[in-house]
Amino acid sequence: MKQKHYIAGLYYRLSQEDERQGESVSIDNQRTMLRKYAEEHGFEIHGEYIDDGVSGTTFDRSEVQRLLDDAKTGVINTIIVKDLSRFGRNYIEVGQYVDYVFPAFGIRFIAIQDNVDTENRDSGAMEMMPIMNVFNEWHAANTSKKIRTVLKANAREGKYHARKAPYGYVKSDTEKKTPIIDEEAAAVVKRIFEMRASGLSPHKIADILNAEGILNPSRYSMEKYGIVGRKENMGLWSFCAVNSILNNPTYLGHMAQQRWSSVSYKNHKRYKKDESEWVVVHNTHEPNISKDDCAELMRYFQNRGPLSKALSLSKQVLDSADKTRGSYLSTMFDKLNIFADLSLCSLTSANEITFSDMAEKPIYDAEVSDERQDNKRNIGHDRLSEQFQGLYVRLEQ
């Protein structure tokens, strides 16, 4: 019987947590082990596939996907890894590949240190493989929990742990990596706050910055510091980019961390946490904007911002010749939020009210008389003024 010719793909993976364990799991160590094994067993080495700094809890890894594509298309017929955890720490997906996908495509899978070889399915190691996969996933879950605990503790101590500082700052070389002012970008940030205080919307501010050719935060970080961000953020200024700056308490000299999290150690989809869950340490670094600047911004919102905008919109709608929309203006007011929180200089704070919170919200009807419309408009103005003036505005002393 003709002996099968094995063409092997050597897969190496190293996560950020693995790097702390030292040389034993390094890419070079894996390469030495796998190449030696392939040569001793007469395998032809087609190529190497390397995912460096990527968690094994997800198979959304560029190089493991290339490895699997090559295996499914017949480019290789053998996959060799150091151990099962290098291939993945999601026991369901690892089991599906080893038990179902690989046999269906005639792929031999070898995990050297775990003595797993799918060519010998009667071995004790193959029988123990499900247990090893469960343990590998448990290890990932336990490690994730420990890392989250450490990061939260560091945040409470004012240690900055983000990959890069917010636009307008750079991370210092101190133990706490405290943000320090980046003069060039800081000037743009200060100008953004000034434009917002003058009444310009985030959309308009973004248009002005783009027209002047000012690099957006992602492009600026890449060109000045070589920090590559997400591809979708590498273009122009946008509403989101401007609004993110306006809502970031870092610019007042406060360090707010733990603002974002992932769904779980397996689902890396990120979401923004409620402000009550943030870890905020005050006066940790030099502010980019002064409290006077922040107060000026809030005076704009009190005197000319949401209030005048709401009344202006109501007048435009009530004066419209379109009589088909009836009392829809009530819905518009339901969606109008007014924000005020000077402690973080945040325009999207927990101090939020809506017209739906009022005992009696103004409802306009385009079918009623002009006199009744005027009366309702005045009532709405009074209620809005009372609600807005009643907001508690805090300014950190």
Helix (H/G/I), strand (E/B), else coil: 232? helix
**Where is average pLDDT lowest: 104-118, 217-231, 365-379?**
365-379
Residue 212's pLDDT band, with cuts at 50, 70 and 90, is very high
pLDDT of residue 230: 64
Question: Cα Rg for the chain, rounded, in angstroms?
Answer: 29
- What token pair was written down for 263? 């769904």
pLDDT of residue 260: 82
Rounded Cα gap, residues 285 and 276, in angstroms: 22
Is the pLDDT confidence value at 32 over 60?
yes
H helix or E strand, kind and range, residue 116? strand 116-117
pLDDT of residue 238: 92
Give the rounded percent of residues in the chain with a pLDDT score beyond 90: 31
Residue pair 246/192 in contact (Cβ under 8 Å)? The answer is yes
53: left (phi over 0), alpha (psi -120 to 50) or beta: left
List the one residue out of 248, 263, 255, 234 whose CA is nearest residue 179.
255
Residue pair 361/333 in contact (Cβ under 8 Å)? The answer is yes
Positive or negative: CA dihedral 237, 240, 245, 246 = positive
pLDDT of residue 225: 85
- DSSP assignment letter at 101: I
Rounded Cα gap, residues 319 and 204, in angstroms: 26
For residue 343, the number of C-alpha atoms closer than 13 Å in the C-beta half-sphere is 11
Is the pLDDT confidence value at 165 over 70?
yes
pLDDT of residue 81: 95
Torsion of the alpha carbons at 368, 382, 347 and 254, rounded to the nearest 10: -170
Residue pair 10/48 in contact (Cβ under 8 Å)? The answer is yes
Q: Mean pLDDT across the stretch 162-172? A: 91
Using alpha carbons, list the distances in angstroms from residue 340 to 203, 250, 259, 329, 337: 20, 17, 19, 24, 10
User: DSSP strand E in 134-285: where?
Assistant: 169-171, 179-181, 255-257, 260-262, 270-272, 279-281
Q: Mean pLDDT across the stretch 385-389? A: 38
178: left (phi over 0), alpha (psi -120 to 50) or beta: beta
Per mean pLDDT, which of 128-142, 152-166, 289-303, 372-386 is the most reliable? 152-166
List the one residue out of 149, 292, 163, 167 whose CA is nearest residue 221.
167
H helix or E strand, kind and range, residue 61? none
pLDDT of residue 19: 55
Residue that wins the pLDDT comparison between 78 and 163:
78
- What token pair was written down for 90? 């999601």
Rounded Cα gap, residues 80 and 8, in angstroms: 7
Residue that wins the pLDDT comparison between 187 and 151:
187
- What token pair was written down for 259? 């603002």
Amino acid at 97: Y
Residue 166's pLDDT band, with cuts at 50, 70 and 90, is very high
Residue pair 364/315 in contact (Cβ under 8 Å)? The answer is no
Kindly report, residue by residue over 224-282, the tens digit of the pLDDT: 888 876 665 567 999 999 998 988 888 988 888 888 888 776 677 888 888 888 888 88
Residue that wins the pLDDT comparison between 133 and 31:
31
**Where is average pLDDT lowest: 42-56, 134-148, 184-198, 314-328?**
314-328
pLDDT of residue 301: 53
Which residue pairs from 298-304 have beta carbons closer than 8 angstroms and sit at least 24 positions apart in sequence? Answer: 298/340, 298/342, 298/393, 299/197, 300/196, 300/197, 300/198, 300/199, 301/338, 301/339, 301/340, 301/347, 302/340, 302/388, 304/199
